[in-house]
Every structure is written in C-alpha cells, then in structure tokens.
Structure 1
Amino acid sequence: MDRLPKTFVTPNTNYSTRNTVQIFWFLLYNILIVPLLFVGFHIAALFNHKIRRGIQGRGKLLQDIENAFPVLSPDEKRILFHCASLGEFEQVKPILKRIVEVIPQCKRIVTFFSPSGYEHVGQCPYLDLAIYLPFDSLRAIRQFLNRIRPSAVIISKHDIWPNLVWALHSRRIPIFLINATMPKDSLLLKPILRSFYRSVFSRLNFVAPASETDRQLFSNLLSPAQQVEVIGDTRFDQVYFRSQESFQKKLLPQDLVSGHVTVCLGSTWPSDEIHLFPAVIELFKEFPNLLLIIVPHEPSPKRVEEIRRFFENTKLNVKTFSQIQEEESNSYPAVIIVDRIGILANLYSYSQIAYVGGSFGPGVHNVMEPAACGNTVLFGPRILNSPEAQKLVELGAGAVVNSKQEVYQTLRKLLADPSVTKKKGQIAARFIEENLGATEAIINKISSMMAKKRES
C-alpha cells in the first residue's frame, strides 16, 4: 500500500486526536473498503455491460492522457472537473465556457465516473480532454495526478472519492465542491459514516451548497474554518444558456409545429405513462390541433416500439423523431416519439406545456429545462427531491397531478386557455432568470484561490 498522505501526519499535538481518527479511516478505507469495491465492481461487470464498459475504458486512461498532453509545461494551468455522469457535466458547462473567456490559456479536463457521461459527452468546444476518473486506489490516483498535475479540481454536486480528495489535499491542490446537495436523510449523516465522511469533506477548500438547507446539512461534515458559501446553482445558468441555444436550433420542421399547441412529455417512465397516455388520447378528441412529443427516459428500441403500438391503436398518426429527420413528407404526425438521447432540453423550446417524468416513480427529473423555455410544468406527486419543482408549484407556474383524471383536467384547462398557459410559462422562465449568476461567482472563487496558491 502507498504511503500515508503527509497531511495526515503533523507534530502539532493540538490535532493529535483528530489525526488519529483521520489515520484510522484512511487505513480502514484502503485496507478493507477499496479491495472490496475493486472485487465488487469486477464481479458486477460480469452481469452489467455498463460497469464492464467503465472498467474497460479505464484500462487506457493513462494512454489517453499521454496522447492528449505528451508534454506538460510546469507553468501551464490545468483545471480538472469531475462529474459522476452527464447530468453533472451539464451543470459545469457554463463554467467551462466562462473559463475559455477569462483564462483562455488554461487546459480544461473533465473526468466521469459513469459510461453514460463519458460516452455521450460529444464534441464540446470548451474541453481539451474527457476521460474516466480512475478507480479510487492509492496507486491509481497517484499515477493519474502525476500525469494530469491539475492546478485546481472542481467536483460537481456529490461524487466524492476519498483517496482522490486526500491526495489532492496532500499536494495542496485546491478542491471545490459546487452545486452541492444533501438529502435530509442522507446516509452520510449517520453517526459512524459521518465521522468517516468528515475526514474526507474537511479536506475540501471551498464548498458551494445549492441552498441554505444544504449548507446547514453540510455543516455536520465540515470544519468551522472551511469556506462555505451559498452562491447559487450553476444549473440555472446552464438551463438558461441551453434554452437560448435551443430557440436557435431547428430540430423539427416549422410547418410541423406552427398552428399547434405542443405538449412535451419528458423523461417518462412506464409509471408516468399509465396516467398520461389515456388522458392525452381523450384530449386529442377535444383539441385536434394538439401536438404531442414523447421523450421516454430510456429510449431503447423496445420502449419506443411499445409506445408506438399504444398510440397506433388509437389511429393517431405516429412517427419517431428519426423518421421525421430522415423522411421528406408533407404528412406530419400528431404524436412524435423521440428515439434519441441528449435533445430533450432543446425540444422543450417547441412546447408550451411540459410534463416531467420520474415523478410517479423514483422522483421527478429536471424541471428547470422546461421552465427555462417558458413552459407551464406538470409533474406527478414525487417531487421532494426537487426544490425547483416545489418552487414552481408555489409560484403557480407548476402543478402536481396525482392520477390520469388530474392529468386530463389540468391539461384541459391549460389547452382551453392559452393566455393562462402563456402567463404561467412566463413566470417559470422568470424564476430561472432570477437565479442566474452562480457561474461568475464560482469563477471568481477559482481565480482567487489559484492566485493565492501561486503566491504561497
């Protein structure tokens, strides 16, 4: 096993008890937890192709870095962003874009834990390199940091790995945790785990909780001397930035959407669809100018075909997004089933009313994207995971629907009175606009801390 990070060893007796606890957790994590995780991931990879792809991708990690940066200048700034998956990457995009503008000579590197982030990052003009984060062993982390040599590290939201944080701290590399959220019932706050995670979180240089409630919860894991500040959530900047882009993109023919009232059902699960589909079928009878866009959470060929068969039985004209893109036809559908990923946020620019899925299942997905595009936003009852959904309800720009009857009644009222729908959508968009600015605040913090590091 690699040697103990030097910051865990100090002659200052005032910290002896604290250091003893730190060393205990460090040894336990590396002697017991890391080997168990390693074995567990490899066993799981035998049955899960996603985990298997992640392990295979990490096998060429160091070579990918070598190919991207054959020579690393000691004077060159490199900022490393870590994102668990694609959703967290979307949150750091406005920061990446702004860094290009204010520190253009800085290299920008993003690491992912999940293949769903790494494989779908695409051609981002603000990135110099996208790679997997190595497995959290001491040796892998040391090799990785020796190759990358970051000037600062920014972790988006929650994906904290102990050895990574301990190693960065021992090298005096500033660590930022942004858009940080913590559920009230988080396991991190349980007595024994709280002690362990305090040994990790206390090494962060700056924590930016997403809300005051999150700040109070994080205080259980942080030391009084740490910099903690609620400066907003870059998700607001990102969804606003993307909504402005969306209005410029032409994903659907103008003839298809003009003259229609468009409802977008985004990130739907089967548990959502059993309430939504019967209601919208009834609404087509009353509102023949209705255009329905369905974006299933998992747009696999099987799921797309299941949805297609359901609506074709109603004799409605149904096409997939791919068919519309590939065919030249004057016969436009009443129902569009989206069979591609990564375009939902852009499609909200075509709709006036949106339903956000997951809210009859694990919890509502991103309600900020449709709000940024000026949609009235509906969702099922499970919204405790989304303060933004709760705020939209409070503002009158969103509504909870608990059954197919409520879906029908709520949509019917909105479709029957476009002026009310438009007003609610304007309130939703204003909610996003009033919460902009976190990106600039984070950039200022990064620049300040990096300057202090150079001076020390």
Structure 2
Amino acid sequence: MKLPFLIRSYRTATAVLEPAVLGLLYWRQRQGREDRTRLGERQGHPSRARPEGHLVWVHGASIGETLSLLPVVERLTQRGLAVLVTSGTRTSAGLIARRLPPGAMHQFVPLDVPRYVRRFLDHWHPDLTLVAESEIWPNTIVALDQRHIPLVLVNARMSDRSFQRWLKLPRIIGALLDRFAICLAQTHDDAERLAMLGAPRVLVTGNLKFDSPPPPADPRVVAHLSGLIAGRPVWFAASTHPGEESAILAVHRALLQRHPHLLTIIAPRHPHRGQEIADIAERSGLRASRRSEGIHPDRATDVYIADTIGEMGLFYRLSPIVIMGGSLVAHGGQNPIEPAKLGAAILHGPHIHNFEGIYASIGAARGALMVKDSASLARAVSGLLSNTALTRDMARAASDAVQALGGAVDRTMQSIEPFIVQAKLGARR
C-alpha cells in the first residue's frame, strides 16, 4: 500500500527536525527522564554487540507492557533465538534488565527519527519484530517493511477512545496496520476495531498479562516489614496519579476514629513525586515517611510513601486491600492483575477505560468493587478492614478470575510459530 501524504510528510519532518528532537532528548535527560549514560541508544547507537545467529526484537513501551512480554521472551530464548528487548522509559530499563532470561538483552528503543531507526536496524538486523499493545511509530514500521522484516503486534489493544480518533485518519492507520504481518489482539472487541481500521490479519490470543508471573519480593524484606506493621490495619493505594493522593489522605483522616492505628501506603505511578506527596500529607497533619530515603514505617507513621522502583510486589504482599490508581481521576485506570494474583481485595474508581474488560471480569467474580469518590472509598475501606472474611473472599475471587483468563502465551507462541520458523531458516517475508 502506498504511503499517504501525511505519513510521507511526517517522515520528512522528523528527518528535517532531527536537531530539535536531539534537543528534546537532552532536555528530557536534564529532567531525569532519560539515562545520561545511555542517550546514544535513543539515537540508535548500540551499547552492545549483536549476538551471533538469529535475533528477535521485542518491544514494550514501559514497565507494564515489557513485563507482560517476559514469558514470550523466555520461550523464544528456549527455542535458541537471541532476543533484544527494548523499552522507552528509565523506570523500565533497570527492572527489565534484572528479570531477563539468559540469551536476552535490553536496550532503549530509538526515537522515531529515520536516521536513528536506520542506524538501529543496521546494527541489530532482527529476523522478526514483536511490538506490544498499541505502539505504532510510522518511521519504524516503514523501515521494517522496507527491509522485509516481519512485524507482529502482540497483546494488541485498541480502546474505543483510540478507535474513534483513528477513524478520523483512516488512510493513515490503514497504511500502517497493513504493514503488520499479523495482529494478535487481547479481546474480540480489540480485534474488531483493528480489523475495521485496516489490519488485514487479526487473531484473538488473549492478554499476556494474565500469564505474567506476579512481581517478586525478597521474603526477608516482606517478613521484616510485616513485623514492623503487625497489628495495624493497612491499605495500599497503588500507582496513584496527581489529584488522587489528596483523596487518599482524606480517606485516611476519615477512618482514624474507627481505625486509630491505620497505616496508608501510597505508591505513586511516577516515583519522583515522592516528596510532593509527603508535603501534601504533612499539610494534612499526617506524618509521612518515604521508602526512597531508607526509612521504615514505625508506630508514628501515618502514611508510608513507596517511591521506589521495582518493589510493587513487596507492597502488594503487605496489604490485603488495594485501591488501583489512575481510576479516581480521568486517566483510565491501572492494571489490577498483579494485586489480584497476590491476594488483594481490589477497589477502583469510575475511570477504568484502559482496562475495562479486566475489571469487568474481576468485578463479575466479586473480586473488585467500584467507588465513586473519597466518601464511598472511605466506606469501602472501612468495611473491608472490619470484615476480614469478606476481604479474603474478594481476594480469592479476584485471584480465581485472573487464573481463569490465562493461556495467552501459548496462543501467542502458536500464532508466531511460522515467523519463528522463517527466522531460524533465515528467510524473509
């Protein structure tokens, strides 16, 4: 399919404006959003040698997407393929690198600038590319197509909001989706939307995140912190966004009379906001401690701020009740699969369009409960803290619902098997 005018214009603009993109990259580095020592990777410069043999490039934009791909990465390495895993955020890089199996390596994905992408592909020469969820970058897609490197969209999702936006640009999205060898969708709704937008080959394989192992935690650290907070009622606000912490703290204050030793744990979606949240808590008359400062919660701690990276598994294990962030404000919610796997009763606000299907499944099993505002959240938390049997029942229901929705890894591997065979034979599409 011929490239539409707007895609050709985008390719020209990103090439001409490369100096400005480089300036943006250095600005992001000064803001702490890029790794200074690895800026070259964002420009397509490799920091590692390419391994011998056939290589699969696997990309996930951030932590959640990349972690969901780890079971697939492990299966690929077991097949004797080298795997290059890329992501685009600092928070994902260190965490992913620690969890990769032997035979896999991590690099930052290059920005979608023609020269950066060309430099990246010239070095790595992938035999197959797997991209997670909804990553659609025109220059990268076109470059892979020109080199006849099969490109597969795995764990694909297309929200109704994104679908409505793309409907206004049908020729653009159609030309890009046409260049995917196959799209493996999470749900039938996702598959239908992708097909309507022009994806010629779509299969439903399910959500890889249901098959991902829960985030790990050091048992010694779990035991130590459990001892420190023993006897206290605890609840956990996970992956919160600006505007939500004030509501969480209001709930804490409202519950103090009935639960005087209450401990509220808050893990902001972006850990650098730890001091900001501590300041909000102090202004509310609550004593806050920050995990990033190496401080443990003592009896005087009202709010414990988990502003570190890679420790969500620890805090999910410490708290029997979790409110998922991004749902009390119009963000779209955060994924509840991890706390469900680790035995938490799940609460969420009304804004969950990013994971609507998952919440519907867990909610239908009575493993999740929606709250509308801080007042209804306070009632829900108080009720669960006062009724441990109900909390256990909700947690078990959430875990069972997630377990029943597994199997996506097997279906994904079956779907990409022809491309794996091509890669191992050195063939191209």
TM range, smaller chain: 0.7 to 0.9
CA drift at 1:26: 5.5
Percent identity of the aligned residues? 22
Indicate the structure (1 or 2) with the bigger Cα radius of gyration. Answer: 1
Once the two structures are superposed, residues 434-456 of structure 1 have per-residue CA deviations (whole angstroms, 9 ceiling, x without a partner) of 11121222223333322145285
1:414 alignment counterpart: 384
CA drift at 1:201: 1.0
1:29 alignment counterpart: 10
CA drift at 1:121: 3.7
Write the letter of the residue equivalent to 1:68.
A
Indicate conservation of the 8 Å contact 1:61/1:134, yes or no: yes
Write the letter of the residue equivalent to 1:285.
Q
Normalising by the residue count of structure 2, what TM-score does the alignment of the two structures yield? 0.86
Normalising by the residue count of structure 1, what TM-score does the alignment of the two structures yield? 0.81
Indicate conservation of the 8 Å contact 1:187/1:193, yes or no: no
Query: Which aligned pairs between 1:16-55 and structure 2 lie closer than 5 A?
Result: 19=1, 21-22=2-3, 24=5, 27-31=8-12, 33-35=13-15, 38=18, 41-42=21-22, 44-45=24-25, 48=28, 49-50=30-31, 53=34
Distance 1:255 1:135, change over 3 A: closer
Indicate conservation of the 8 Å contact 1:110/1:130, yes or no: yes
Question: Across the two proteins, how many residue pairs are aligned to each other?
Answer: 420
Q: Pick the aligned partner of 1:111 from 62, 86, 89.
A: 86
Distance 1:155 1:337, change over 3 A: same
2:177 alignment counterpart: 201
Distance 1:250 1:385, change over 3 A: same
Q: Give the root-mean-square deviation of aligned CA atoms.
A: 3.1
Distance 1:302 1:96, change over 3 A: same
Indicate conservation of the 8 Å contact 1:262/1:351, yes or no: yes
2:366 alignment counterpart: 396
SS of match in other structure, 2:75: helix
Write the letter of the residue equivalent to 1:382.
H
1:68 and 2:49 correspond: yes
1:366 alignment counterpart: 335
SS of match in other structure, 2:244: helix
CA drift at 1:232: 0.8
Give unmatched runs, 5+ long, in structure 2.
none
CA drift at 1:233: 0.8
Query: Which one is further off, 418-427 or 401-410?
Result: 401-410
1:230 and 2:204 correspond: yes
Distance 1:442 1:182 in 2: 18
2:276 alignment counterpart: 303
Distance 1:442 1:192, change over 3 A: same
Query: Which aligned pairs between 1:21-420 and structure 2 lie closer than 5 A?
Result: 21-22=2-3, 24=5, 27-31=8-12, 33-35=13-15, 38=18, 41-42=21-22, 44-45=24-25, 48=28, 49-50=30-31, 53=34, 57-59=38-40, 65=46, 67-69=48-50, 72-73=51-52, 76-100=53-77, 102-103=78-79, 105-118=80-93, 121-126=96-101, 128-186=104-162, 190-191=166-167, 193-224=169-200, 226=201, 228-238=202-212, 241-243=213-215, 245-246=216-217, 248=219, 250-251=221-222, 252-288=224-260, 290-300=262-272, 301-310=274-283, 313-314=285-286, 318-322=288-292, 333-361=301-329, 362-387=331-356, 388-420=358-390
Distance 1:22 1:331, change over 3 A: closer
Distance 1:255 1:159, change over 3 A: same
Once the two structures are superposed, residues 157-199 of structure 1 have per-residue CA deviations (whole angstroms, 9 ceiling, x without a partner) of 1112223222323333221111111122326754562211211
CA drift at 1:419: 0.5
1:15 alignment counterpart: none
Give unmatched runs, 5+ long, in structure 1.
1-18
Indicate conservation of the 8 Å contact 1:274/1:404, yes or no: no
CA drift at 1:282: 3.0
Write the letter of the residue equivalent to 1:208.
L
